[in-house]
Structures are given as C-alpha cells and as structure tokens.
A and B are shown apart, each in its own frame.
Chain A
Amino acid sequence: MSLLVVDNLSVFYGAIEALRGVSLHVEQGEVVTLIGANGAGKSTTLRTISGLLPPKTGTIRFDGQTIHNWQPHRIVKSGLVQAPEGRKIFANLTVDENLQLGAFLRTDRTAIRADRDRALELFPRVRERLNQQAGTLSGGEQQMLAIARALVARPKLLMLDEPSLGLAPQLVRTIFQVIREINLAGTTILLVEQNANMALQVAHRAYVIEVGRIRMEGPAAELAASDEVRKAYLGAH
C-alpha cells in the first residue's frame, strides 16, 4: 500500500486553477521529487497535501486514511510534515525554541530529545547556534534549521519545498547529502525542487509538473536521461 496517494487534485486560487487534476503517489521508503518551472504548482501541491489549501476536487490518502478534509494540525500529527518554501523559521525565537516547536504535537519527551539530537547531528552548524536568535542565522543555516525543525516532528513523510533555494553550490550538495541520509534512516521524502539536476540524482522516482498538470513521471534516472527533461530542466541543448 502506498504511503501517500494523491488522486486527481484540482485547486483554485479564486478563479485561477493552479492544479488541474494532479495525481501522484509516494511509496514507503522512497524519495520522490516533484520538479517544474516557476509557477507550475509545486508549492500549491504541497500546501494542499498539508491541508493549508482546500482542494476543489480529488482525494488525498495518507497512511491508509483520507486526509484532504482534515485540519493542518491533524495532518501534521498523523506524520505528514512539510518544511515550507522560503525557510519560514521563527526569527525572534532561539534556534532551540524553533526545534521545540517542531515537536509541538509530541509528548514523548525522551524520544523528542533523541530525534532532536539526531537532527542536530545532521546539521552541526545548527547545533553550534542553539541559543542564538534564529533570525540572525545565515540563509543556509536557516534552511538547515527549517529541515531540522521538521525532522523533530518525526515525520513518516517529510515534504521539502525547495530546500536548495538561494544556497551556494557547496551548501546545496550538503543539503542533498543530508536528504539522502534522512531517507536512509527511514524517512520517506517528497522533494519539491527547481534544481532538477540534484533532485533527480537523489530521488528514486520523479514527477514533472507543468502549469498544474503532471507531464511526466517515472524512475528518476530515466527522466534524467530523457531528452525532454534534459532540454527543459537540466539545461542541455
């Protein structure tokens, strides 16, 4: 049984139809990436899955339950957590308090501490800044914090919205390395990316979204090799 099944999702912003029948699925243990140009509907897809936007039609099933009419906090509690686009850390709280908010819905203190330490192990630079105000972190550090914070929620499925946005190439590699490590440790990942090149390297399977529709899907290696993807998203000629 798939961990996440999105079926025929359409979403409107007022009169604008941002998603036009998107279907995708994520299996237990996979890294699945959703790539596409600006405004294709990637963030909209994640927001809808997280319950932040109501779908007009379509269904979302997660871990055996139908969740598309659930409140966002209930969805988080069920283990579906997203690290939103643009970092969205809590600037006036300390790094540590940000992490504690990641565990907001959890009560198992010892397990939270273990997950927190594990997340910090992935991002030593975040650990060094635990008592610092989060708003004073560099952009890259904020991105690491955003991922670490989502990890402290102990997601079954972690959704990352453009984690490489605005990072230096060296840091982009680090982030993708960490994404792989998180996945190897047992967390399923749905990764939204502009950086198709890196995303296709780390993912098992991929979807290409264009103006609200899924255009292509398949094993990441196959898509990376296809002419169409190479031309449109990998900058080949």
Chain B
Amino acid sequence: MTQQGLATAPLESARPPRERGLVGTVVNSAWPVAVGLTVAAMMHVMLPTTIGPFYTRIVIDSGIAIILAVSLNIVNGMTGQFSLGHAAFLALGGYTAGMITFYGSLLLWNSPAKQGGFLGSGEWLFAFACLMGGIVATLAGYVVGLPSLRLRGDYLAIVTLGFGEILRVILQQTRPVIDSVEKLKNAGAAQLWPPPVGGAVGFNGLPKYTNLFWVYAFATFMLVVAFRLKRSSLGRAMISVREDEFAAQAMGVNVARIKVLAFMIAAFFAGLAGGLYAHESGLIMSPRDAGFQRSLDYVLMTVLGGRGSISGVMLAAIILTVMPEALRDFDQYRLIVYALLLIGMMLLRPQGLFGIHEVWDWRPRWRSRAATTRSMPAKGGRPNA
C-alpha cells in the first residue's frame, strides 16, 4: 500500500485544490474587489451624465436586485432550502439602516438631510448603517434558519413566508417618524416604542444616499463572497446538504449548522441591500416591502437563473428588473407575465436558465474534457508498481 502511495505521487493528477486558507482567500479576493470598486466608482462618475436619471435608476435597481437574488440563492439554490421570506430581511435591514441614518443625522447634524458629498461624512454614516442593517438581518436569519432544521420543502416555505408577513404587520404598528431634535428630546416612551419608523405610511424623510458607487461596491462584496463560497469547502458542504442530507452527515457535515449558516449569510446581504433600498431616491421604505410579493420577485430570479448559477441569477435579476420598466404600460399584467414565465420555465428548463453552471461554462466545454484526459495515468495501469 505504501508502495502504491509512492507510485501515485508522480502522477499528481487533475487540478490542485483551489482554496489556500484564510490568507490565500483574502489575497485572491483582493483583485476582484479592487476591480469591482473601480468599476463602481467609474459608473458613479460617468453613467448618470451619459444615460440620464431614468436609466441610472434602473442600473441602481438592478444592482440591488443582484445582491438580493444572489444572496437568496445561497439558501434556495446552494443549500436547497426553500425560503419565501427574503424580503423580510430586506425590510429589517432597511428599517435598521434608516433609523441609524435618520436619527443619527438628527443627533449629529441637527437635521436628517444629506451631509457632505461623494464619500463625505454622511455617506460613511450611510455605509455603516447598511452594515448594521445587515447584522440585524443576520440575527433574524439565525432565528428563521432554526425551523429549517426540522422542516422541509413546503413547510419551511410557509414558515419563512409567515415571518415576512408577521414583520409586515408589526411594521404597520410602528410610531410616526419624529423629524426634529427638539421633539426627539422631549419624546416619551409612547412615541419611541414601537420604534418611530412611520407605521403604515412608510419611513419618510430618509436622506437619499444610495448611488451607483455604493450599490456596486456592496454588490462586488456580495459577488466575491458568493463565488468564493461556491468554490470553498463550506460551499461544497452547503451543496452536499442540498444533494443528500444523509450522505452529507455521513461525510461529517454538520447539517444543522450549515443550514443556519446559509440563512445567516443570505440574510446579511439582504439586510445590506435593504439599507441601499431604503435610501434610494424616489422610494419610500414601507411595511409592504417585507411581504410576500417582494419575496416572490427574488425567488423568481433564482428559479429563472438556475439554482447553483451565480451569473445566471445575476442575469435573471437584471432581466426581471429591466423588463417591468420596459413594460410599464402593462403593469397590471406583471403578475400574469411572471406566472407564465414560471410555468414555462418549469416545463422547459426546470433547472433554470443555467442550472448549476456559470454563464462562461458553456463556452469551453472541450477544454474541460481535455483536462480530464490529461489527468489520466499514461497507460491506465500502475506505473512501476
């Protein structure tokens, strides 16, 4: 046996394992992050003046949709749990971030209006608020992930859906926004609890910080994490849970931990995106955003894109953001179109546009076959054994 071990060594077949520990991961992630940030900054500087506010807004919406859909795909696609409550994390993050920027600005600058310019103090408060939104959503993700340990398929879907609806109703019961420092200082418990985030009319008056730079900076962050995850041992463990929980356990995968972790990671990015969404100009974050309708939009994107395909889901997120804008006159038919799209997809390509492949996997098919051939031992048998 040791002999065989020695004999195998010179073969050193196939591709080497990809991951190289934490340091390697950070180093390998550095250049995509740098590229992403550069692109985001360039978009921010150049796009609005060239394509105008209407299209800029669509590009921003697409970026936010990408973050939400790709993060949802970590739960629904990679780990194989069916969540119908992603919008709840969006709302939780949005409201949290909104409270921080709104009341933070009031206390810091005596006014909830925007402070400073590009990358000015106000924007940093906003970025911090988005991260906090992500963190609060992560905690909720932990709580919502727990039922996934005992429930499967439809039942889990119903629980997650219920979470969104409950949050929606709770948000409707919140207090009106307090819009001046004096009122805030004199406010009693009755005005402060439930939190003053606007109730049914929505969280009005937030400083509208969201711009192309921050959206695509955070989208870069999300995408780097998603691609890293897919190639990592943790990502493989998630996929193994999707494929066969029993076998995953037999390999030593802590299935419970993996499921909850998937929910938490997805919730973090949804919360982050919620921060972006709440501060987007022309929008008012309202309790409705936590509900089923919005969750369904993101589920649709993951279904359309393919359960394991990050690029496929990105593409679907863009398509499903642009399409309603293009078909604005037919808005009342939107749900019909979506339903038809879903049914057609289930019939024609149940695995989604790209299944588990990335967009670029389609091109070099022959190449991977060549790699397989190369990995074979020269003459089939054991050399010098």
Establish whether residues A129 and B372, one from each chain, have CB atoms under 8 Å apart when the complex forms: yes
A-B contact count (CB 8 A): 121
In the assembled complex, the Cα of A112 lies from the Cα of B246 at a distance in Å of 23
B326 at interface by CB-CB < 8 Å: no
B252 with A153: CB separation less than 8 A: yes
* Interface bits A56-74 vs B (CB < 8 Å: 1, else 0): 0000000000000001110
Q: Are A118 and B375 in touch, CB under 8 angstroms?
A: no
Nearest-CB residue, chain B, relative to A92: B356
Report the separation of the CA atoms of residues A130 and B375 in the bound assembly, to the nearest whole angstrom: 8
- Nearest CB in chain B: distance from A144 CB, A: 15
Q: Is the CB of A93 within 8 A of B250?
A: no
Contact B372 A132 (CB under 8 A): yes
Q: Which of A23-31, A80-88, A163-171 contacts B (4 or more CB under 8 A)?
A: A80-88
Do residues B240 and A101 form an inter-chain contact, with CB atoms below 8 A?
Answer: yes
* Contact of B348 with A by CB under 8 A: no
**Residues of the A chain whose Cβ atoms lie less than 8 Å from the Cβ of B15:** 96, 131
Q: How far is the CA of A128 from the CA of B377 in the complex (A)?
A: 8
Bound-state CA distance A183–B381 (Å) is 21
Partner of A93, one of B12, B14, B243, B368: B243
User: Given the complex, which residues of B lie within 8 Å of A153, measured CB to CB?
Assistant: 251-252
Q: Is the CB of A120 within 8 A of B13?
A: yes
Q: Does B339 count as interface, using CB distance less than 8 angstroms?
A: no
With beta carbons under 8 angstroms apart, the residue of B243, B246, B375 that contacts A52 is B246
Chain A residues with CB under 8 A of B246: 52, 84, 88
Contact A101 to B253, CB < 8 A, known contacts A52-B246, A88-B247, A91-B243: yes
Tally chain B residues at the interface, Cβ within 8 Å: 40
Select which of B2, B8, B356, B372 is within 8 A of A130 by beta carbon. B372
Within the assembled complex, what's the spacing in Å between the Cα atoms of A60 and B244? 26
- Give 1 or 0 for each of B242-268: 1 = CB within 8 Å of chain A CB: 011011111111100000000000000
Give Cα A82 to B252, complex, Å. 10
Judged by a CB distance under 8 angstroms, whether B334 is at the interface is: no
How many Å from the CB of B268 to the closest CB on chain A?
23
Report whether B372 and A76 are in contact in the complex, using a CB–CB cutoff of 8 Å: no
In the assembled complex, A77 has its CB within 8 A of some CB on chain B: yes
B381 to chain A, nearest CB (A): 8
Q: CB < 8 Å: which of B12, B250, B308 contacts A76?
A: B250
> Contacts A73-B252, A73-B253, A104-B233 hold; do A181 and B1 have CB atoms under 8 A apart?
yes
CA distance A73 to B11 in the complex (A): 32
Judged by a CB distance under 8 angstroms, whether A100 is at the interface is yes
Q: Does A50 touch B at the CB level, under 8 Å?
A: yes
Residue of A nearest to B252 (CB): A76
Quick one: which of B359-385 are within 8 Å of A by CB? 368, 371-372, 375-377, 380-382
Between-chain CB contacts (< 8 Å), 30 pairs: A52-B249, A52-B250, A71-B254, A72-B252, A73-B254, A76-B251, A81-B251, A83-B250, A84-B246, A89-B247, A90-B240, A90-B243, A90-B247, A90-B248, A93-B236, A93-B240, A93-B243, A97-B239, A104-B237, A104-B251, A104-B252, A127-B376, A128-B372, A130-B14, A131-B371, A131-B372, A131-B375, A150-B250, A153-B251, A186-B1
Nearest 6 CB-CB pairings of A with B: A76-B252, A185-B1, A88-B247, A117-B8, A90-B243, A105-B252
* Chain B interfacial positions (CB closer than 8 Å to A): 1-2, 4-5, 7-9, 11-15, 17, 233, 236-237, 239-240, 243-244, 246-254, 308, 356, 368, 371-372, 375-377, 380-382
12 A-B pairs besides A100-B236, A118-B5 with CB distance below 8 A are: A84-B247, A88-B244, A88-B247, A89-B247, A90-B247, A96-B15, A117-B5, A117-B13, A118-B1, A124-B380, A130-B13, A153-B251
